[in-house]
Every structure is written in structure tokens, then in C-alpha cells.
Structure 1
Amino acid sequence: MLLEGQAMREGRGLAAKSPARLRRRGAAIGPDWRNGLFVLPFLLVYLALLVYPLFRGMWISLLQFDMFDQTASFAGFTNFRRLLADRIFLGTVGNTVLFVAMTVPAFVVIGLALALALNREGRAGAVLRAIFFGTSVLSVTIVTIIWKMMYLPDRGLISGILGVFGAAPVPFLTSQDLALPAIAVCTVWWIIGLPMMLFLAALQQIPGELYEAAALDNASRWRSFVSITLPSIRRTLLVVVIYEIVAQFQLFGQALLLTKGGPNNASRPIVLFIYEQGFRDWNLGYAAAASEILFLFMAVAAIAQYLASRRRAEG
């Protein structure tokens, strides 16, 4: 009896203490807002450098803002209406869209082809991967100097090769039809290493047993590529396409240093137009409106590509 009474008293004591213990345990297990202090520096930088400039740019696009005398007045959608009637701006939109259409498929096709060719072990494969990736770490100034020397119509490398076969020199950078394709070729040569490495990383994650099973079924290389390789790297393919669409819409340095937007605005992209309006003509509101249209183009293109790829994957 004494033991039973002591056990009952201890049980009541534990029951009395259990709510407090549970509250302490809940406080330890539940969310602790002090953990937010670890991400607070990142959030502050993100708000200061990305979110605030985004909405500030939207507001400036609605102003008649002259940086020269620092005067600003609300203009509504006047800047946007002027842009839609500006032939030079509409030409830059066409140039930028055409440039994206020329470069993004090249990045996907050439990058994947190089990754397939260099997806092998050994010193030779490592050296070739380093060579192809090495161009992507060069600055835009170095790249444009190299290609400007190659495009020279009298002493350039390409003209020298054409001269061996008796062909006349080609004025790549002074021709309205060839200036933008010449910039596209330069850009693909410069950045092809990044999509190549992304594809290469995705290819190395594919289990080798899948290809062994396909070989046992006498599947051809093309069949293995279509049935195994492409479905396995689908997500990487989508990442490369969306990244390159967003990146190539921001064409600036190559056009500025190779052609300065010429000849006759044939190679002038949207970003160069924004730069000239904002920092040459001091028309900040007009430049901000053009940048908002560029942001809309990039967002629509990336979302459309994502939705199309998602439908194909689900189908």
C-alpha cells in the first residue's frame, strides 16, 4: 500500500509538471524567429539592390525626368506612347529579338554537341573542356578586340582565309545585313562554355546501366539519345534555354564595342538604346520606360518557354 501511494503521488507530481515541460518542449521544437537573424543580411541586400530598384524604375518610367537639371514631373504613360511611336526603339526591339533567335538555339545545339563529344574520361577530354570553357571567363573587352581583328576587311583572319580561295573581303561590321550576325557569332564563341558545362554535368548524372540496357536491345545511338539522353537532361535543357533568353536580351557590350549600334541602327539592341537615352541624352524617364518594356519581354519569353516545356514534359 505504501508503494502504491508513493507511486500515485509521484504520478500526480509528474502530471502537474508535464504542461510546463510540454510548453518548454514546444518552445524548443516550434519556430524561433531569432533564426531569421541569419537571413536578415541577405534580405536587406536583396531589398536594397533588387526589389527597391525594380519598383523605383517603374515609378521613374512614369515621370518626365531630366537628369541634367534634376527636374521631374509626372507624365503617366507618355513615355510608353512615345516609345511605341519611336522607329529607332522599334528597330532595337527587332534587332534584340532577332539576336535572341540566332543565339539561343546555337547555345543549345552547339553546347549539347560539345558536351556529348567531351563526355569522356582522360586527360584529352579534360584539356578540351578547359579550352572551350576558358573563353567564357574572358571580359567583353578582350573578346571584342579579338573578333574585331578577325573581322577586319583588309588584314583580318577571316578575310585572309577567304583570300586564299580567291574570295573578296567581307565587311562584316559595316554591312547592315551582316553586322548583327557577326555579333551573334562572337557571342556564341564567347559564352558557349557555360551551357556546355551545364549539359556535361547533366550527362554525367545519367546512370550507365540505361545505355547498357539499350545496347542489349540493339538500340542505335540516335534511339538512345532520343529515348534516354534527352529525357534525362530535360530540366537542364530548360534551365539553359531560359537563362540564355534572359541573358541575350541584355546584349550591350558586344554591340557597343564592335559596331556602336551601326551601321544605320542595324545592330543597336534595346540596352544600348537605354544607355544612350539615360546617360547620353539624360532622359531618364524615357530610358526607364524602355527598360520596363525590356523587362516585360524577358519575363514573357522566359515564362512562355517554361510553360511550353512543361506541357511537352507532361504530354
Structure 2
Amino acid sequence: MQKVKKAVIREDLVKLTGSTEEAVILGQLIYWIDRMKDAGKYKLEERERLDNHLADSYKHGWIYKKAEELAEEVMLGVSPNTIRKYLGKIVEKDYVKRRNNPRYKWDKTLQYRVNLVKVILDLSNLGYPIDDYKQLLRMEENDASSKQTVSPNVEKSDSKLKDCAAIPEITAEITPKINTETSSSSEWIEDEIDIYDTNQFELISKTYLNLSKNKQLSSNDKIAIKNVVDESWETPQVIGWIKDCFDNFKPKHKLDNIRSFRYVANYIFDQAYKNEQEDLEDEQTTGYIAQDEYFQRFGSAIIQDAGEINEGDR
């Protein structure tokens, strides 16, 4: 039986952020702390930062998560684009840190880390009790599986707790493979491919060949894939668009199929353009410029490239 999701609004976080929506999202990020694989190192780092009066060290506790998944979990009834804007505001207030993938510049997946020290200090200045948050920083025998000490925004089944992925520390001795227990559960990951160990071109190629049942890429396929990679869109988003393209393809006869990646590339450029237009319309309506996007801004070249790729390339 599926568990009932619960969204919890904490008064202290509402006062802290000045927004009910931001409070719910921040609370959810705090809830994930105990679910991270490097929870113990994160807690130790935060305690050291607290003792050293906000020492600037943010090595541990980085996670990545799609705005679509977060929107579903917090149940605010808003679009993923709006969730990104709320996240951007929380980042501006410095309660959450944000960065791009420091290992692979082509991967535009945004990573987040709760600045729990600032949360604790600011709540204390506001006169709110901070015992829950200080308790969260206490070490357990096994931090990776320790029970929650702060009320979650969303209670989900154990499988859903794997939706949040811990990012390994970036050092010379880093282990390339991310533990599958904490890697994203997004269905686009085939055969446990790690996006941090596989370059985007190879991952797109493997996904396309798997879905198309083709044995190898043609020279035109490689050119079309490179055109997509050159746009520097977020890897999970691109893989999702590829799968959507195949899912939405309606053959006209039993022998009809997608025979070229250029057809898929056309679909990808179309989806990227639609997403950009949604952002622009949202900005014009709200007056707020989205800073937390899952792919980078792109210019008129996209429209030109998309126009060169037509259905006749299938």
C-alpha cells in the first residue's frame, strides 16, 4: 500500500525565509541530510564551521535533484520552473549553496548543499529553539542510516528516499563510482550508468542505440549527437527527452521506426526551445528572472539548427 505524502510547514522556517513555499522546500532539503551517503562527513564539517564562526568550507553534503521530482514531493501545486525560482531565492539568502558539477564542465546538473550553520544561527537570532537542528548534527554510529531528527516535509517509502543523490568529495583520491544506494532513481539511467563516470556523448549514444535497436552509430548520427552535446544541456534532461521521443513516436506502418539520431535531435531542440519560451513567459509575468535552470540559456542558433533538422531525416 502506498504511503500518504505529508507536507509539513514549520513556523520557524517560514519566519526565516519569509515565504511558506521556500520554507517547505528548505525543510525538505534539511530532511535529506540524514539520507546522504556522506552524512557523517557533512555533520562533522558543519560542526567545525559552527565552532569556527562560519568558516568557508563546503566539501560535503552536495546533492542533485530534478525540479520535477521536487515539485511532486513538496506538493505546492506549482510548476518545476517555479520550484527553481524558489530554490534560487533560498540560494540568494545563503541558506542553501549551489554549484555546477565541478568535475565535468559539460554537465550542467546543479548541485545543492544546505548551509545548516547559517540556518541555526539565524533562527537563534530570531528567538526560535534550535535543538532539533543541533540534534541533527550529532553523530550516530551509522550516519548513513540514522533516523531523522527533524520533521520531514514529505514522508515517502524507502525506495523514494533514494531520489536524493550524494555528490562525492572532489579530491585527488576520489572514487569514481557513486554508490548505487544513493544515486538518483530516475528511470533514464540504464544498467546503472553513472553520469559522473561517462561523458555525455557516450551516454547519449548508448541510450539511443539501446532504444533504436541499432548496432552502431552512423557518421550522421555522430554529428547530430555532437550538435546536442555542444549545447551543454543537463545530461539527465537530454536523456529524458530522448526517451520521450521514442515513447511519443507513432509509426505509420509496422516497418516505420526512428532510423536516425537527427530525428531525435530535432525533438530535443524543440523541447529545449519550448522550455526556454516557458521561462521567458514566466519571467514576463512575474518579473523574476530564473537563475536556477536545468540547462543553460541558448541563442538564436538553436532555432536555426532545429530548422535544419526535419522529419525527412528519419
The TM tier, using the shorter chain, reads under 0.3
Larger helix proportion of the pair = 1
State the TM-score, normalized to the length of structure 2.
0.21
Larger RCO (CA within 8 A; separation ≥ 6) = 1
